[in-house]
Each structure stands twice: as C-alpha cells, then as structure tokens.
Amino acid sequence: MKIMIVEDDSDILFLYKLIFKKEGYEVIDVSSVEECFEKLDKTSPDLVIIDIMMPGMDGLEACKKIKEKNKQNPRVILISARCDEEAVRKSFEYAKADAYLSKPVSRKKLIETIRRFI
C-alpha cells in the first residue's frame, strides 16, 4: 500500500514517514499541497493523509479537489489540531474526507485508521 503524506511541519512529516515505513507501507512525503498535486498522478497513492492547516490551499480544499478530479480516487484522511464540530463537519460534508483525526494523534490510532482502508 502506498501512502502520501502532505504535511508542512518537517518534524511531523519525518515522524509519520518513520511510522508508516516501519509498518511496511511505501511512503511519498510532500510538504505542500502544490507538490501533492504534482506527484499525485505520477505516484498513484492508495491513501493520502493531509494536514488541514496548510499554507496556500488548505487541506479541506485539497481533499475536495482530489475527490472530484482524481481518477484513482485514493482515500483521504484529514488531520488537524482543530477538533471543533464545525471542522469535523466540513471535513466530511464539504471535502468528502474518508476519515478525520485530531492532533496530536497517537501512533496506534493512526495505524488503526489506515488499516480500515486496506
């Protein structure tokens, strides 16, 4: 399974990459939404994990765009420090995310969520 991680915090990106590689997943790590769209069709990930709070286009818009336009239609998990009801609602209703996780997210919860989509 191939996972693309879209995260602008290099420490968090590095940590996610280590976790997923240890679990045996192929990892594509990108630090911007723009880079995500550049690599999406070339790499065909099965799952995309996007931080909502990204510079430029945010994770909600990125998720919505991926769901509307991507032929492979990968599953998308949104992650955010915001855990209010409005943020969660928009993630599912507007962006059509497959899952939503609140930061900080435990390694166990992250892996459990990913395994739901295998």
- pLDDT tens for residues 20-52? 999 999 999 999 999 999 999 899 999 999 999
- pLDDT tens for residues 63-101? 999 998 866 679 999 999 887 898 899 999 999 999 999
pLDDT of residue 9: 95
pLDDT of residue 61: 95
Cα 19 vs. chain centroid, distance in angstroms?
A: 14
pLDDT of residue 71: 63
Q: Which CATH architecture has domain 2-109?
A: 3-Layer(aba) Sandwich (3.40)
The token duo for 118 is 């295998």
- Residue 62 phi, psi dihedral angles, 5° rounding: -60, -45
pTM above 0.85, yes or no: yes
